[in-house]
Structure 1
Amino acid sequence: MGDNPSRPLFRLQRRSLLQAGAGAAAAASLAGCAALDEGPEGTAAGSDELADLLPTYTPYEGGIAPDLPGQPDGSVTPGYLARPAEPVQAVTEPPMTTGEDITAITPLWNPTPPGLPDNSYFATVNEILGGTVVFNIADGNNYLDKITTTLASGDVPDMFQIPGWEIVNISDFGEAANELFADLSPYLAGDKAAADYPLLASYPTAAWAMGVFGGKLLGIPWERAPYTNALFARQDVLDELGLEHPTTLDELLAVAEAVNDPSNNRWAFASLDQTVQEAMGVPTLWKVEDGKLVHKFETEAFAAAIEFTRQVFDKGLVHPDYVADRNTNAKEIIGSGQAVFYEDGLGAWHEMFATYRSVPGFDLQIVDPLAREAGAAPTIWRDDPAGMFCFIKKDLSEERVKECLRVANWCSAPYGTVEYDLVSDGVEGVHFTVDAEGVPQRTELGQTEVAPTYMFLSGRANANNKFQYPGMVERLHEWETNAAAFLDPSPFQGLRVEMPSDLSAENEPMKEAHHEIYRGQREVAEWASIVEDWRARVGDSAREYYTKVAEDNDRL
């Protein structure tokens, strides 16, 4: 796999696109090497090349000031300790002016709400927009099918939300996107965004760079914090046992052994993987050693992480459901008190409180990044600064593209604005009320009619605002400030590099391999030969590709 770097690029055909989506999924399920039928060579652009394509970062000055300041690079999210008494209005003119409907495809992981004309939420927002957005809402769990069939047909809507985690499963997405979606640089590059779409201009430059596909700015990014994962602990259990948070891997193992009590249906871990790798110093993807690129799989740190995690499994410190299936629902294990530690994305923290706050004593807290040993520093994996993208249909008239951008600008209004409330929860007093803690609570009508839809017509500036959970805003701000110092100094930081799909397709088989080692299905010593096989399939050719990118951008 990956031994033909000059294979022809994808051409937009229904059969090819469907094969690409299915092929990536199939390849990811194989432990062997089944080459994808189609696959891009990958593309990359340096920061100098992108500068002429992207909006100039311009902080939005019209909103409410955060109580805890963020960082312009997105590494620390601004924190808000209360809801403003009077949300401000960010956009004063209706963004839709042509009299034409805007068609949109968006995902939804909740029950589908009623459509027009039977949905007062849609009716109200459309009235404020000055026109009608006609949503085609697709099941988020099967959204890749919707994306591939729509792209293959060539009949795309005016606005189309496509998550990055689905894009990696579509071979040569960049070329398909260039054929179907509008180049936004003529409308947004430089100071144009700040003048006409000031809310879009407030996104970090790094987030906008992720919207570049095939050398053109095509996607409006949904900004996200650069942290892929964190370790969380049932604080109530630790407090009951008089235990402190660990700061090193040895301390983690000691605390785990202290809390592990299978006879009382309690294990130390509901999940464990990335925490150990970061503590060991494993890079996000590549690092430079002796002037050459080394992939994370090839590092001594990764091998050490596998050996440590195998030790944790061998000691019986992991919940049997996770031992049996790494995709088990670790949240339920933690929520029920059957485990003390687990890994998850930062957003899961407030979601867990929302789900389990009625459980007596439930207290989940985030653990600061662990070091390999005292005095050492972890490497915090740097997530992409944007994770979802809204595309606008190509060949629309200039005024229609501008109209779609005005809608995107309106939908991206930040926390503390009237527009934010409307997009998130609808109309106060109709779809939500504000409780004594200043938290919007959906009415029965709101629960039926309001769904994440308009928010997917753009992105949104990050906000750390879950103040309904005492101490969460402050602690998350503290955690991000601490973790930011350890973010991976990737040799590709600031570059927009699209990973070749054959390398991407190997991620799942390699993950499956080291999880099999954790569980004793393979021996620790096998990892070296697994990596050698990976090098022969894709690793060495991928290194050549990434080395050229690094050299072309003075990173090597």
Structure 2
Amino acid sequence: MPLSRRTFLGGGLAAAAVAVTGTPLLSGCASDKKNQAAANLAVKLPTYQRYTGVKPDLPGTDLVLDGFLKYPANPIRAITEKPGDGQPITFMTNIPGAIPPAADKNAFWQALNERLGSELQISMASNDEYSNKFATRVAGGDLPDVINIPPSTVQIPGLLKAKCLDLTEHLSGDAVKKYPFLANIPTEYWKGCVYNGGIYAVPVPRGMSRTSLPLYRSDLLAAKGIDNPAPKNFEEFLALCQELTAAKQNRWAWTRVPLAYIRQMLGLPNGYAEDGGKFTAMVEHEANTDALEAARKMFAAGVVNPDTFSAAGSARKQWFNGGTAVFDLDSFVAWNQYYADSTAGDSFGVNMLDVPGFSGGEGKPWMGAALNNITAFNKSSKHSAETLLKVANWMAAPFGTEEYLFRKYGVAGRHYELKGTDPVPTKVGVVETGIGLQYISDSALSLYWAGKPAVPQNQHKIQQKIAPRLVFDASYGLYSDTLSKDGARINGVLTDLENQIMQGKKPVSAWAPAVKTWLSAGGDKIKAELGQAFSDAAGR
């Protein structure tokens, strides 16, 4: 039963799962939900045991990431045995870049298989296409051994229970120490892996590394004599964007309208806010009208690429890398990815803008999503849970180890050249290594770019600056059945309206009645369910 992205996000996956498993993804019984919430709270999360084998040049905190000015000399090979069992292991994932050469034409992939001791067979799709592919595979009952599950997946609990291994006995408490690099993932990230009264997945951690602010082409700004852009309010920010736009020369300030950034200027909540156990959604905040009016003003001023509303995310990234746009609203992960994808040579430079208050002072940056995805293991896999966890542990070996060096950079002489102790990727390396291993498991990001110590220094500097002002999403780790089933659909209506308003096709005054409809269509129920989950957690 093929599914479109719209039917998948709108609940089609739930119907598909009934066809595949014979049961709904999640029972609608209130007592079942309450019992499940209690069972989830009883789960003992994996013990955090920080890896101390590598010392950072720029030490982090519980929020700021560790930074390294160069790759450590003589990196430690931390895992001596091959994690695989000799049999092929299948995996499906999204990838952020172009589809790389197949395994038979990819020296990195071949070397990986040798190191793992099992052939890793990967089914890939671009970021833009992965939701469709994932939905179709679920609907067809055709799931691999290792499954990259997006956090937005409809009714995750039922999917995990029906199709995936319960990993609790292998990971709960001190049991995780058998897999030391999974134990090196902080406890906070494991909260998003607990469903059905057990630990059903391995986290792919992000957090601060996914915090998104305006990335800018520092080389293009420097060419205009701007070395340290620091607008003090929205009007100065808009004036800077106008200065950087030259439509006749096919250059615009922005890849897209930075509505989320404007909302941070205005101090709006990050997703959901909690006060006294009651939840409110960001979309309810009265300052949304100011944010939408400012966003509409930006688009009308012509500082955004006019094709933005019809372009895919991959096209916007190409605009930024190619110099068609100067700004892109994205994360520290994207910051590094832009360097990986750049073909502009040594002149290419990226930096990040802080967020000012809309009318002055300081804005409130939103902390990035805790997880990129969770990775579950197929209940029908012929591999043992221990084998698949060993592979995930190998993928999570942190910066400074020999395993990390290979996983991220490949084989010396083909995929990278050493400059001092730094692995500098070759063009072949960029192409062949992009096979999505980071979505099986990963360590927390370290701030580093080979041969360019200014990159981690700039990243560490902006993280230190924004850390005290970060706003967190209060809904993280709390499950709402309505949000899972209907959130994408009802949120999609508001997103469509935002796009219409920003293009001037609908008035800003259309927002308030749309939010009332959103509340009655499920928003009020979502808030109530989050409040109940919060109350249950508080009473643990």
TM bucket, shorter chain:
0.7 to 0.9
Where 2:215 maps in the other structure, the secondary structure is: strand
Aligned counterpart, 1:347? 333
Where 1:440 maps in the other structure, the secondary structure is: strand
2:64, 2:388 → 1: CA distance?
30
1:327, 1:453 → 2: CA distance?
18
The alpha-carbon deviation at position 310 of structure 1 amounts to: 1.9
1:215-254 correspondence runs (5 A): 215-226=197-208, 227-239=210-222, 240-242=224-226, 244-254=229-239
Matched, 1:82 2:82: no
The alpha-carbon deviation at position 535 of structure 1 amounts to: 1.9
Asked if the contact 2:214–2:327 (Cα under 8 Å) also holds between the matched residues in 1, the reply is: yes
- Of all paired residues, the percent bearing the same amino acid is 26
1:269-280 correspondence runs (5 A): 269-271=254-256, 272-280=258-266
Where 2:506 maps in the other structure, the secondary structure is: coil
Residues 523 and 51 from structure 1, CA distance in 2 versus in 1: closer, same or farther, beyond 3 angstroms? same
Matched, 1:105 2:92: yes
Matched, 1:115 2:103: yes
Asked if the contact 2:234–2:358 (Cα under 8 Å) also holds between the matched residues in 1, the reply is: yes
Aligned counterpart, 1:385? 370
* From 36, 39, 51, the counterpart of 1:60: 51
Aligned counterpart, 1:12? none
Matched, 1:204 2:189: no
1:48, 1:39 → 2: CA distance?
17
The alpha-carbon deviation at position 279 of structure 1 amounts to: 0.9
Where 1:420 maps in the other structure, the secondary structure is: helix
1:27, 1:46 → 2: CA distance?
22
Aligned counterpart, 1:188? 171
The alpha-carbon deviation at position 379 of structure 1 amounts to: 2.8
The alpha-carbon deviation at position 515 of structure 1 amounts to: 1.9
Where 1:506 maps in the other structure, the secondary structure is: helix
Give the total of aligned pairs: 517
Aligned counterpart, 1:421? 405
Where 1:388 maps in the other structure, the secondary structure is: strand
Aligned counterpart, 1:92? 80
CA RMSD of aligned residues (A): 3.5
1:275 is matched by which residue type in structure 2? Y
Asked if the contact 1:230–1:343 (Cα under 8 Å) also holds between the matched residues in 2, the reply is: yes
Aligned counterpart, 2:155? 172
More helix by share: 2
Asked if the contact 1:159–1:393 (Cα under 8 Å) also holds between the matched residues in 2, the reply is: yes
The alpha-carbon deviation at position 390 of structure 1 amounts to: 2.1
Asked if the contact 1:46–1:495 (Cα under 8 Å) also holds between the matched residues in 2, the reply is: no
The alpha-carbon deviation at position 325 of structure 1 amounts to: 5.8
Aligned counterpart, 1:548? 532
Residues 301 and 179 from structure 1, CA distance in 2 versus in 1: closer, same or farther, beyond 3 angstroms? same
1:190 is matched by which residue type in structure 2? G
Aligned counterpart, 1:213? 195
Aligned counterpart, 2:360? 374
1:90 is matched by which residue type in structure 2? A
Aligned counterpart, 2:146? 159
Residues 546 and 452 from structure 1, CA distance in 2 versus in 1: closer, same or farther, beyond 3 angstroms? same
Aligned counterpart, 1:466? 449
Residue range with higher mean Cα deviation, 217-226 or 422-431: 422-431
1:128 is matched by which residue type in structure 2? R
1:103, 1:354 → 2: CA distance?
26
Asked if the contact 1:55–1:190 (Cα under 8 Å) also holds between the matched residues in 2, the reply is: yes
The alpha-carbon deviation at position 311 of structure 1 amounts to: 2.3
Aligned counterpart, 2:16? none
1:390 is matched by which residue type in structure 2? T
Asked if the contact 1:162–1:388 (Cα under 8 Å) also holds between the matched residues in 2, the reply is: yes
Residue range with higher mean Cα deviation, 474-483 or 268-277: 268-277
Asked if the contact 1:102–1:132 (Cα under 8 Å) also holds between the matched residues in 2, the reply is: yes
Aligned counterpart, 2:466? 483
1:330, 1:443 → 2: CA distance?
22
1:82 is matched by which residue type in structure 2? K
1:545, 1:396 → 2: CA distance?
34
Asked if the contact 1:113–1:451 (Cα under 8 Å) also holds between the matched residues in 2, the reply is: no
Residues 46 and 263 from structure 1, CA distance in 2 versus in 1: closer, same or farther, beyond 3 angstroms? same
Structure 2 residue ranges without an equivalent (≥5) = 13-18
1:172, 1:494 → 2: CA distance?
14
2:513, 2:531 → 1: CA distance?
23
The alpha-carbon deviation at position 100 of structure 1 amounts to: 4.2
TM superposition score normalised by structure 2? 0.84
Asked if the contact 1:210–1:496 (Cα under 8 Å) also holds between the matched residues in 2, the reply is: no
1:354, 1:134 → 2: CA distance?
24
Per-residue CA deviation, residues 448-497 of structure 1 (Å, 9 max, x unaligned), is: 75442544432333111114335110111111222222222444456466
Residues 335 and 554 from structure 1, CA distance in 2 versus in 1: closer, same or farther, beyond 3 angstroms? same
Asked if the contact 2:8–2:132 (Cα under 8 Å) also holds between the matched residues in 1, the reply is: no
Residues 269 and 155 from structure 1, CA distance in 2 versus in 1: closer, same or farther, beyond 3 angstroms? closer
Where 2:391 maps in the other structure, the secondary structure is: helix
Where 2:351 maps in the other structure, the secondary structure is: strand
The alpha-carbon deviation at position 79 of structure 1 amounts to: 0.7
The alpha-carbon deviation at position 203 of structure 1 amounts to: 0.5
1:315-326 correspondence runs (5 A): 315-322=301-308
Structure 1 residue ranges without an equivalent (≥5) = 1-14, 29-36
* From 528, 537, 540, the counterpart of 2:512: 528
